[in-house]
Amino acid sequence: MIGFYTFMEGVIAFFLIAGGVFAFIGALGMTRLKDFYMRLHGPTKTSTLGVGCVLIASACYFSLVGGGFSVQELLITIFLFITAPVSAHLLAKSALHQKLPHDQRTQGHPEELDEEEENPEPSERAEITPPP
């Protein structure tokens, strides 16, 4: 019969190692993959889940040690899962804006990456006349 504490220790250890492995794979993907758009996939998904796993492990640990539930870590987890897609979206937008090259095998071609600017975005600032 395994005691409750031993069992919880195993769960925490599992989450810790899973988090470390996921974060490492995310960073590895960012180093190894070919072009920027592919590199974007590693950190946004894998690193976020890695840190999420570590935070869950921390919540379990402090609930076990300190007595009473420790749910503060869930706040950071939720915050990360809400913000990671937003920063990824903005990064992809700025990459498209800078017309970064993409891998040869990529199917489809977004019009944002065309060389000649056929329909440049109308800049609102240019139309504002400066005050005399």
Q: Which of residues 57-76 bind another protein (CB under 8 A)?
A: 57-58, 61-62, 65-66, 70-76
**Distances, alpha carbon 126 to alpha carbons 90, 112, 116, 117, 121, in Å:** 23, 21, 21, 17, 11
Which residue has 């019969």 as its token pair?
1
Q: Which amino acid is at 16?
A: L
Q: Is 109 in the site for another protein (CB under 8 A)?
A: yes
Binding residue (CB under 8 A) for another protein from 2, 105, 120, 127: 105
Single-letter code of the amino acid located at 72: Q
Which residue type is seen at 115? E
Least separation in angstroms between residue 91's CB and another protein is 6
* Per-residue CA distances from 112 to 35, 53, 65, 102 (Å): 17, 37, 54, 12
Count of residues touching another protein (by CB under 8 A): 86
Binding to another protein by CB under 8 A, coded x per residue (else -) over 27-56, reads: xxxxxxx-xxxxxxxxxxxxxxxxx--xx-
Q: Is 129 in the site for another protein (CB under 8 A)?
A: no
As measured in angstroms, the least distance from the Cβ of 60 to another protein is: 10
